[in-house]
């Protein structure tokens, strides 16, 4: 088992049980206690859990909630973000959109426009745009299918992304902080987001205020690699200053 896979399982155990002993983790993952201790130190250094004597303790921001819960969380905030983001795009633009609950809401607003080219790995996004009042061209990226979230992932998706060059990549990230920048909870999602960024002239990040100052498992870019950040509230001073230094255009409902 790769260290990253082991770290993912450790975080899952900790989220489920809130506190897990080193001995129990070692037995469950079939590795030594020394390996587990090293893993816990690494995860604590990244702010994903907290070590206590002989155990690991859950930190609420460490792992992502299940998809069904994310669909209803911060619904009002996501709608505000979607409204603002849709105003960025105009006829003739090409846009890659990754999967996510914020992407679903955004796609419903984008579907009111016409003349766009949409490339996505999200079946929900593709369907929302297709059934909207606008007329747009849609490319759906094929790969391994995740039924719960209705999106595709894996090497086939990455390969297909590389065959496009677009104006914008629209990403819905797991967490944002000043030190690490943009982060994802899962390596598969991070790989897709990274590939989309590489094939886009501009990167647009959609994130409600609860994503700021949090940590996630996989960092993908520093703030200065983001062109536009759309959120529902202006971030606190430290984050806001970092965005300005990185020359990220900040868009909120107020702006």
- Read off the pTM: 0.75
CA distance 204 to 228: 5
**pLDDT computed for residue 62 by the predictor:** 47
Taking only the tens of pLDDT, the chain with its 255 residues reads: 778 788 888 888 887 888 899 999 999 999 999 999 999 988 887 767 888 888 888 765 544 444 444 444 577 899 999 999 999 999 999 999 999 889 999 999 999 999 999 999 999 999 999 999 999 999 999 999 988 788 999 999 999 999 999 999 999 999 999 999 999 988 899 999 999 999 999 999 999 998 998 888 899 999 999 999 999 999 999 999 999 999 999 999 987
Instruction: For residue 94, give the 3-state DSSP assignment.
Output: strand
**pLDDT computed for residue 250 by the predictor:** 97
Tell the residue number behind the tokens 């390969």, with chain if given: 159
The answer to whether the CB of 233 falls within 8 A of the CB of 176 is: no
- Domains of the chain listed by start with CATH number: 3-58 (1.10.10.10), 67-251 (3.40.50.1360)
Going from the C-alpha of 99 to that of each of 89, 92, 105, 174, 254, the distances in angstroms are 18, 22, 11, 12, 26
DSSP state of 225: G
**pLDDT computed for residue 19 by the predictor:** 86
**pLDDT computed for residue 146 by the predictor:** 85
- What are the structure tokens assigned to 114, written together? 């016409």
């Amino acid at each position: 088992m790769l260290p990253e896979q082991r770290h993912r399982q450790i975080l899952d155990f900790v989220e489920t049980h809130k506190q897990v002993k080193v001995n129990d983790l070692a037995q469950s993952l079939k590795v030594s206690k020394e390996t587990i201790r090293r893993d816990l130190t690494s995860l604590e250094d990244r702010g994903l859990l907290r070590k206590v004597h002989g155990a690991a303790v859950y930190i609420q921001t460490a792992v992502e909630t299940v998809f069904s819960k994310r669909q209803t969380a911060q619904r009002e905030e996501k709608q505000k973000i979607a409204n603002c983001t849709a105003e960025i795009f105009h006829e003739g633009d090409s846009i890659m959109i990754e999967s996510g609950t914020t992407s679903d809401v955004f796609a419903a607003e984008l579907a009111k426009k016409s003349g766009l080219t949409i490339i996505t790995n999200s079946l929900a996004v593709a369907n929302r745009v297709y059934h909207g009042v606008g007329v747009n061209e849609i490319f759906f990226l094929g790969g391994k299918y995740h039924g719960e979230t209705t999106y595709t992932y894996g090497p086939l998706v990455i390969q297909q992304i590389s065959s496009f060059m677009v104006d914008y990549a629209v990403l819905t990230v797991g967490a944002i902080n000043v030190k690490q920048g943009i982060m994802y909870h899962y390596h598969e999602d991070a790989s897709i987001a990274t590939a989309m960024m590489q094939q886009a002239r501009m990167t647009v990040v959609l994130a409600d205020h609860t994503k700021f100052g949090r940590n996630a498992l996989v960092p993908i870019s520093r703030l200065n690699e983001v062109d536009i950040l759309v959120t529902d509230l202006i971030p606190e001073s430290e984050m806001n200053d970092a965005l300005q230094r990185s020359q990220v255009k900040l868009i909120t409902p107020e702006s």
